[in-house]
A = this chain, B = another copy of it.
Amino acid sequence: MYEGVVQDLIDELGRFPGVGPKSAQRIAFHLLNSDPADINRLREVLGKVAEGVTFCEVCGTVAEQQRCRICRDERRDATLVCVVEEPKDVLAVERTGEFKGRYHVLGGALDPLSGIGPDQLRMRELLARIGTDEITEVILATDPNTEGEATATYLVRMLRDFPGLTVTRLASGLPMGGDLEFADELTLGRALSGRRAL
């Protein structure tokens, strides 16, 4: 609809997830009115991303160096590993401030229909870590959905034969601040079967 480079920019921005045509137009005109220095800073960052981002050679999360901050931190408990799907899940667990162990990022969850099997995920690397490091507990923190549950089930089967290794799964149940009345059947069912003695 617009002429030349403005429409190209709107088209490119419209490819972003969650950015519709109206938002793309708004962002485009924001950029048109921006200082060229700001735009060039964005271009530079995009250039680095296009060249490839470094992932931690141990846990697989995004990292600035060969090893991420958490894997380099000697104060973190090396016997405890939390297995998550994506780097953003590492951040979610870190925000709780409750976890002092280390992480392992799978890079997704098992999803055979999309062609994602064990070989597409960092499962071999997890086995290698358990074989060499002093890990005593693996916490499975994949998403509580079909793919995440399947991945957790697969990992339990893969890891249960390691001597001296405990495999645990994040608790399922009612979200804090939620309302029992509005909980879905599956969640309420999990909350019931996972009830604790007080």
Using a CB–CB cutoff of 8 Å, the interface residues on chain A facing chain B are: 1-6, 8-9, 12, 15-19, 23, 25-27, 29-32, 36, 38-43, 45-54, 62-64, 68-69, 86-88, 91, 94
Contacts and interface: CB of A to CB of B under 8 A. Distances in A.
A39 B47 CA distance: 8
B64 A4 contact: yes
A2 B45 contact: no
A39 B53 CA distance: 13
A40 B46 CA distance: 8
Given A12-B42, A48-B5, A49-B9, A23 B27 contact: no
Contacts of A6: 49, 53, 62, 87
A17 B30 contact: yes
A46 B3 contact: no
4 tightest CB-CB pairs across the interface, nearest first?
Answer: A4-B64, A39-B50, A36-B50, A3-B64
A86 B69 CA distance: 47
Contacts of A52: 36
Contacts of A68: 3
A157 B31 CA distance: 34
Given A17-B30, A25-B88, 15 more contacts: A2-B62, A2-B91, A3-B63, A4-B63, A5-B45, A9-B49, A16-B30, A29-B87, A31-B46, A36-B51, A36-B52, A39-B46, A40-B50, A43-B43, A43-B50
Contacts of A50: 36, 39-40, 43
A53 B9 CA distance: 11
Contacts of A25: 88
Best-surrounded residue of A48, A68, A69 (most CB of chain B within 10 A):
A48
Contact of A45 (B8, B30, B36): B8
A63 B39 CA distance: 20
